[in-house]
Amino acid sequence: MKKFIKSQRSSLLVFILTVGVFGIINTEMGIVGILPLIAETFSVSVPAAGWTVSAFALVVAISGPIMPLIFSGINRKRVMLLALGIFVISNIISMLTTSFNVILVARIIPAFFHPIYVSMAFSVAASSVPKEQSPKAVSRIFIGVSAGMVLGVPVTSLIAGETGFSMAMLFFAIVNALVFIATIFLVPSIPVKERLSYGSQFRVLKKTIMWNSILAVIFINGAVFGFFSFLSDFLKNITALNFKIISIMLFIYGGANIIGNLIAGKLLVQIPSKTIKIIPFIMVIMYVVLFILGEYMITMGGIIFGLGILAGIASNNCQYMISQSAPEAPDFANGIFLTSTNLGTAVGTAFCGMFITALDTRYAVMGTLIFLVLGIVFIYLRQRDAKKVQFAY
């Protein structure tokens, strides 16, 4: 009976954390689809409006390892409430202001707290279950990440298109406020059992396995999101689809991504080493098929679905590699993971974009394939290191 109650409490905690991550990622990514509306509302250019996205992402990349480290010794519940509260207040300010500069500030400030909440969500979810089941709990958090990225853009676009920019900001505020309330009443106090010094946490950066993990994550994530950034363009210009069908394809990719998260949770519990090593090879095959058959709509649905599943598994693999490289400093490790993924996305997008500029949209796949090969190299170096330090695979 006690085990059942503990299991139910863990499930509730992970659910709240998942919705919380959804709310924060939704705030980050949802605004992507309404940049023209922001430009019109605040009388700025669309590129200027784009700073609401790029400034947020830049701050997350920079503060990824630093902020979780600073707050690593404070009660987890208090820190999560602080982060959620700042997101709620910032969204309300964005809803009420008529100044674009205020909007930028209201985006930049919560971005500093994004890695705190997300990294702690991973850590708390992993520690809420037996160690061997932690990948499964973490995979649930990734559902929040996927949902925030996939559903955030169309839902925000729909709300803003029908009711205006302010209502979209209100939507962000409501989601974060509901999680804030749920955290107050349903999440128990989570004191830090053993506070680590900053120096002891920084020492994980001396590990070769950590650097091989970081480089593997940068290249694998860069491969996935480098191409995903141009997926709509690929479907329009190569597959010759209209925007309605493209939207359906993107939803298919997003739904498959969520399925991939669920599959990853099981695989990383049962066969982690094989999962980490084999998935990139399957991705290479799928992207080669995409390059060859990208013109045919009848095959693209299946290819997009398959790539979505693989991307979901790959994201979990990336978090697993870094977190298992520094189990003694989970919050710091998850902060490093967030920085690595953001850096990978930025570099991967730029790299794939170079192929589009030099050749055409189809050849963005070449950038992805090169990054995947480099990722595979560092995964194998990382796994070699893992055997040396006798990681429990």
* Same fold? 13-186, 198-388: yes
What pLDDT does 392 receive? 42
If we measure between CA atoms, which residue out of 330, 25, 61 comes closest to residue 152?
25
CATH of 13-186 among 3.55.50.30, 1.20.1250.20, 3.30.365.10, 3.40.50.11240? 1.20.1250.20
- Are the C-beta atoms of residues 57 and 225 closer than 8 Å to each other? no
Structure tokens at 157: 């676009």
Whole-structure pTM value:
0.82
C-alpha angle 113/115/121, rounded to 5°? 105
Structure tokens at 274: 């094989």
Residue ranges in the chain modelled with pLDDT below 50: 391-393
Topology of domain 198-388, per CATH? Growth Hormone; Chain: A; (1.20.1250)
* pLDDT single digits (tens) 257-274: 889 988 998 898 889 889
Q: Give domain limits for the chain.
A: 13-186, 198-388
What pLDDT does 4 receive? 52
What b/e sequence results for 89-108 when a residue is b if at least 16 CB atoms lie within 10 Å of its CB, and e otherwise?
A: bbbbbbbebeebeebbebbb
- Are the C-beta atoms of residues 106 and 173 closer than 8 Å to each other? no
Q: Give, for 159, the enclosing helix (H) or strand (E).
A: helix 134-163
CA–CA separation, 223 vs 347, rounded Å? 9
Q: Give alpha helix (H) positions in 164-271.
A: 165-186, 198-202, 208-228, 231-237, 243-270
CA–CA separation, 369 vs 390, rounded Å? 31
* pLDDT single digits (tens) 157-177: 778 878 888 998 999 999 999
If we measure between CA atoms, which residue out of 375, 367, 336 comes closest to residue 350?
367
